[in-house]
Amino acid sequence: MKAIGNWSKEILLILMALVFLSPIYIIFINSFKNRRELYENTLAFPEEFGLQYYTAAMERMDFFNAFANSIYVTVVSVIFIVILSSMTAWMLARSDNWVSTVIFMTLIATMLIPFQTIMMPLMQLVTGISRTTGIPLYNTLSGLIFMNIGFHAALSVFLYHGFIKSIPISLEEAATIDGASKFGVFWRVVFPILTPITATVMILNVILIWNDFLLPSLTLIDKELRTIPLSVFYFFGEFTIEWNLAMAGLTLTIIPVVIFYVLAQKYIIKGIGEGAVK
């Protein structure tokens, strides 16, 4: 009797989760339907699984180009964020003076500033710098990466700082006595110990940067520079919506996220938990 009760609970739980994710299923099945099928019954199974709407959506969204841009911006931004913020956090955590305290507090305080508060002056600044000095910050992927580093610095330093405070200093001291430079101590001794928090910092930043829309939409003007969220936005804006094409487009953008999720699931859930709790 009890076993049956447990079984029904298991089934209820999974049913609930399936209903929860049903919008994604609906998008998926409708991405194969022609216009007539789509209007007849949105919930029915498609008559055939043809990929013609996918090829059309790929072409219109310039999908592979947008995908490459997204990958490039995300990977390079995250590498720089990890290197620079771990170094900064280590110095701040290991030197007990008022300068470090002021810098750290300033970083934390800016986490309260919403993007909308600085977007206009930032754009003025960035276009001004590009125009007067010729440094290509505006309308380039490198410029976007540069801004990503600035925007995600505070959270990343904060996470590293908390972790570093919790590890003993003795190892570093031993390495210093052995004659290693600060650089050597950090990269050979400290950075390997930081691996768990590096995973968290990477996961959080990948999600934020991959899905970011507003900053790229303000700074990337040329069509060939578009990242995935931008190409989806313009895809929905430029044409009167042909839903079957749109669904194929949406499914395309979800696929990489699902793959990433399946591969790194354990780290993602752990990373999100730690990132939020700290």
Partner 1 sequence: MANRKKVGWYLIFTVPLLLIFTLIVLVPFVIGIYYAFFQWDGIGANPMVFNGLDNFVRLMEDERFLRSAWLTVLFTVLSVITVNAAGLAFALLVTSKLKLANLARTMLFMPYLIGGLILGYIWQFVFLDVFTLIGDVTGLESIFFNWLNNEDFALFALVFVFTWQMAGYVMIVYIAGIQGIPGEVIEAARIDGASGWQRFLRITVPLLMPAFTISLFLTLSYGFKIYDVNLSLTGGGPANATELFAMNIYNEIFGYGNYGYGQAKAIVFFVIIAAITLTQVYITKKKEVEM
Interacting residues with partner 1 between 194 and 223 (CB under 8 A): 207, 210-211, 213-214
CA Rg value for the chain: 24
Query: Closest Cα to residue 228, out of 75, 69, 76, 78?
Result: 69
Query: Closest Cα to residue 70, out of 193, 276, 185, 229?
Result: 229
Q: Six-digit token pair at 266?
A: 């354990």
Residue 51 or 269: which CB sits closer to partner 1?
A: 269
Query: Closest Cα to residue 175, out of 167, 183, 185?
Result: 185
236 binds partner 1 (CB under 8 A): yes
157 binds partner 1 (CB under 8 A): yes
Phi and psi for 212 in degrees, rounded to 5? -60, 135
88 binds partner 1 (CB under 8 A): yes
Q: Six-digit token pair at 131?
A: 């125009």
Number of residues that bind partner 1 (CB under 8 A): 82
Angle between helices 141-165 and 115-133 (to 10 degrees): 130
Residue 75 or 123: which CB sits closer to partner 1?
A: 123
Residue 131 or 223: which CB sits closer to partner 1?
A: 131
Q: Rounded to whole angstroms, what are the CA distances from 212 to 127, 151, 234?
A: 20, 12, 15
End-to-end CA distance of the chain: 44
103 binds partner 1 (CB under 8 A): yes
110 binds partner 1 (CB under 8 A): yes
Residue span binding partner 1 (CB under 8 A) among the ranges 63-71, 105-113, 167-175, 190-198: 105-113
CB 51 → partner 1: shortest distance, Å?
20
What is the dihedral sign for C-alpha 97, 100, 102, 108? negative
Residue 52 or 95: which CB sits closer to partner 1?
A: 95
Of the candidate residues 26, 102, 169, 174, the single one contacting partner 1 (CB under 8 A): 26
CA gap 108, 30 in Å, rounded: 45
- Draw the binding track, 129-148, toward partner 1 (x: CB under 8 A; -: no contact): -----------------xx-
**Binding to partner 1 (CB under 8 A): which residues in 164-193?**
181-183, 186
Of the candidate residues 50, 136, 150, 184, the single one contacting partner 1 (CB under 8 A): 150
102 binds partner 1 (CB under 8 A): no
Of the candidate residues 84, 108, 167, 193, the single one contacting partner 1 (CB under 8 A): 84
The H or E element that residue 203 is part of is helix 195-211
Residue 171 or 258: which CB sits closer to partner 1?
A: 258
CA gap 52, 72 in Å, rounded: 28
124 binds partner 1 (CB under 8 A): yes
